[in-house]
Amino acid sequence: MLTSILILLAGSGVFIAGMNMLSDGLQRSTGAEMKRLLGKISNNRLAGVGVGAAVTGLIQSSAATTVMVIGFVNAGAMTLLQAAPIIMGANIGTTVTGLLVSLQSLNISDYMATLAFIGVMMTFFKKDVIKKIGAIICGLGLIFVGLDCMSGALSNPKINDFFQEMFTTIEFPLLLIIFGALFTALIQSSSAATGMIIMMVGTGAIEVSSALFIVLGSNIGTCVTAMIASIGTQVNARRTAVLHLLFNLIGTVVFTTFIWICKDYVGGWLQKIPANQAMQIAWFHLIFNVTTTLVLLPFAKQLVKATELIVKDKPAQGEEERKLHFVDDHLLKTPAVAIMQVKKEVEYMATLAKMNLGKAVRSMFNEKEATQEEIYETEAVIDFTNKELTKYLIRLTPLVSNADENSIGTYFHVLNDVERIGDHAENFYEIGEQMRKDGLAFSADAKDDIMQMYEKVSLMFDIAVNAFDFIDQTHLGDLTAKENEVDAMKKKLTRAHVDRLSSGNCSTALSPFFFSTVSGLERVADHLVNVGYSIMNPTGSQKG
């Protein structure tokens, strides 16, 4: 008895490890392609369902697909309405695992288990592609090794009787659904949970009538991963996770009601499927998700509105919160999406830097333009974002493909330049504060000169961020031209200030402040050139 229990636990561990290895291997091999496929999604709902099913079928994880979709919505690359059909399709794609596991009943485990050995041998090759394929094959083999171990343990009459008695005790549908949801939430994979239930039906440890409700519960439990991934994200990303939960809850309620009322007919209908009981459960899982999708797809807009009622917009806050808005640790499981989210975070940081720069420059002439608290708080957010995002990039780098390493190199440099721009903004504000303490003020001509220089820098900001955002080299020539204009203006303004000093129209006490301001703006222009040209030279030297 004890030996059988240990074998059952070991088999469960091997099965779940195989599922994770298969899913991780597929994600690493197809991550970039999945990102492009999801990125091309349109407003065609049927296409969205197809993409969701295809992506999940390929990476063997509806949770991973949903997390990717949450990332796209959080980054603003996909609307909530576009995300709805993809999530529905993901539920269809996840049934592939159940169909795969049901093949164990055909006595092919011994043959499939050899894949584990073949896969391990392939991981010793030097080529990265062969290693990835080896991990996929090994994971597939381990799934059947685990299934075979669990099946052998359940052949023990005492173990089998224990499960039969347990599920007879909790045969009430709601309890079975709760069990399925909790079990799936615990192991963080509806595919693995459904696969184990299908195997147990095949060995007779669970009756088909009980298994149906457990499978329905597993569809609710799988939403836990997405709900966790949405913590700390934008409001629409959280709505995406809630939409995933709503879809499965509604489907479960409808199917539970139908099965409960028509259980005799359902049992008879399943027996008409030309397959054994394990395969019947796998087909039921597929039918549930396809039917729920067909029923709810026309009501996608209504589902979106329901999520908006559940997850309401937060009132605007006057103070920036020190947290990363688009990035979290859960996205490290999908590096392709994490990279896109990092880019969004960098763009957000650049927006803060531009806003603070404008406020700080204007505050030199208008004391009421911005308070010290506002300038310093925004600068603190910029510094925090730079620090935390740098740490995140260090953790992300080993997980990405060679092609994405260039993007990470770009982000490191851009982060540094944007953070330095933030420092200059703080310096400009401090110049204005010191001038007010000393009872000094720039002349009207000096104000006009500084503002003209700032406006050119502001235009450069737009060009540089646009080039970084869209990886667009079209206007980089304009960026260089503007920088040359700023350099020339620095020399011109310096001479003009000296002339004002010579003619007695300006106090010598203002010289340090004036020269520091125009020099600071010229340095900001240099950093903006670095930002714009970073898309062409991610590892090259930067202007200081």
pLDDT at 75: 63
| 172 class by beta-carbon count within 10 Å (0-12 exposed, 13-18 middle, 19+ buried) | exposed
Q: Which two tokens stand for residue 218?
A: 């597993």
Residues 117 and 221 in one domain: yes
Q: 277: closest CA among 186, 201, 353? A: 201
Mean pLDDT lowest among 161-165, 286-290, 381-385: 161-165
Q: Two tokens at 51?
A: 């993409």
Smallest CA-to-CA distance from 434 within 524, 517, 359 is with 517
Give pLDDT, residue 459: 93
Same domain, 395 and 256: no
Q: Indicate whether 525 and 478 sit together in one domain.
A: yes
Residues 468-491, mean pLDDT to the nearest whole number: 87
316 within some domain: no
Domain end, chosen from 280, 310, 340, is at: 310
In this predicted model, what pLDDT tens digit does every residue of 514-525 receive, in sequence order?
899 999 999 999
Distance of CA 303 to the CA centre of its chain: 22
Q: Output 94 or 31, whichever has higher pLDDT.
A: 94
Asked if 130 and 223 sit in the same domain, the reply is: yes
Residue that the structure tokens 């065609």 belong to: 44
We report the CATH number of the domain holding residue 407 as 1.20.58.220
Helix (H, G, I), strand (E, B) or coil at 273: coil
Amino acid at 265: Y
Number of domains in the chain: 2
Interacting residues of 45 by C-beta distance below 8 A, sequence separation 6+: 84, 85, 297, 300
What are the tens digits of pLDDT across the range 213-238?
999 998 898 888 778 777 766 788 88
In a domain? residue 504: yes
Based on the fold, state whether residues 137 and 178 are members of the same structural domain.
yes
Q: Is residue 542 part of a domain?
A: no
Q: Cβ(214)–Cβ(206) under 8 Å?
A: yes
Tell me how far apart the alpha carbons of residues 456 and 252 are, in angstroms, rounded to a whole number.
Answer: 59
101 shares a domain with 13:
yes
State what percent of residues in the chain have pLDDT above 70. Answer: 88
Residue 261 belongs to some domain of the structure:
yes
180 and 214 share a domain?
yes
Task: Verify that 346 and 305 share a domain, yes or no.
Answer: no
Q: Which domain holds residue 408?
A: 331-533
Residue 331 DSSP code:
G
282: in domain: yes
Q: Are the C-beta atoms of residues 518 and 453 closer than 8 Å to each other? A: yes
Would you say 82 and 269 are in contact if contact means Cβ atoms under 8 Å apart?
A: no
Distance CA 26, CA 140 (A): 11
pTM here is 0.59
**Dist. CA 336–CA 69, nearest whole Å:** 12
Residue-wise pLDDT tens digits, 380-428? 999 999 999 999 998 888 887 776 777 888 898 899 999 999 999 999 9
- The better pLDDT of the pair 18, 321 is held by 18
Could you give the CA distance from residue 229 to residue 249 in angstroms, rounded to a whole number? 19
Burial label, 120 (beta-carbon count in 10 A; 0-12, 13-18, 19+): middle
Encoded tokens for 439: 């009872």
| 11-64 residue pLDDT tens | 888 877 877 777 677 666 655 565 566 555 556 788 888 888 887 877 767 777
Q: Place 541 in a pLDDT band, splitting at 50, 70 and 90.
A: very low
Q: How far apart are CA 457 and CA 449, in angstroms?
A: 13
Contact 339, 328 (CB under 8 A): no
| pLDDT score of 318 | 41
Q: How far is CA 214 from CA 125, 190, 218, 220, in A?
A: 42, 11, 6, 10
Q: Where a domain ends, among 258, 277, 310?
A: 310
The dihedrals phi and psi of 475, each to the nearest 5 degrees, come to -105, 15
Within-domain flag for 67: yes
For residue 127, the model assigns a pLDDT of: 83
pLDDT of 108: 63
- Tell me the per-residue pLDDT of 198-216, one tens digit each, with 9 for 90 and over: 888 877 888 888 888 999 9
Do 355 and 224 fall within a single domain? Answer: no
SS (H, E, C) 55-103: HHHHHCCHHHHHHHHHHHHHHCCCCHHHHHHHHHHHHHHCHHHHHHHHH
Residue length of the chain: 544
The highest-confidence range among 112-116, 185-189, 483-487, by mean pLDDT, is: 483-487
Q: Give me the pLDDT at residue 316, please.
A: 45
**In sequence order, which residues have a C-beta less than 8 Å from that of residue 163 and are 6 or more positions away?**
154, 200, 205, 206
> In one letter, which amino acid is 387?
K
For Cα atoms 501, 503, 505, give the angle at the middle one, nearest 5 degrees: 65
- Cα–Cα distance, 13 to 104 (Å, whole number): 17
Condensed to tens digits (0 to 9), the pLDDT of residues 290-303 reads 999 999 999 999 99
131-151 pLDDT, tens digit per residue, is 888 888 888 788 778 877 877
**Residues 298 and 363 placed together within one structural domain of the fold:** no
Rg (CA), the chain: 30
- Give the per-residue pLDDT at 540: 44
Region of 125 please: left (phi>0), alpha (psi -120 to 50) or beta.
beta
* Distance separating alpha carbons of residues 475 and 463, to the nearest angstrom: 7
Record the tokens describing residue 294, joined without a space: 């067909």
The CA–CA distances, whole Å, from 298 to 83, 84, 99, 134, 304 equal: 14, 11, 27, 42, 12
Categorize the per-residue pLDDT at 319 as very low, low, confident or very high, splitting at 50, 70 and 90. Answer: very low
165 pLDDT band (50/70/90 cuts)?
confident
From 278, 310, 342, the end of a domain falls on 310
Q: Would you say 361 and 454 are in contact if contact means Cβ atoms under 8 Å apart? A: yes
CA 317 and chain centroid, separation: 25
**Helix (H) and strand (E) counts for the chain?**
22, 0
Q: Are 198 and 281 in contact (CB under 8 A)?
A: yes
Instruction: Tell me: do 302 and 338 sit in the same domain.
Output: no
* Position 326 in a domain: no
- Both 68 and 115 in one domain: the answer is yes
Which SS3 state, helix, strand or coil, does residue 272 take?
A: coil
* 246-262 pLDDT, tens digit each: 999 999 999 998 888 77
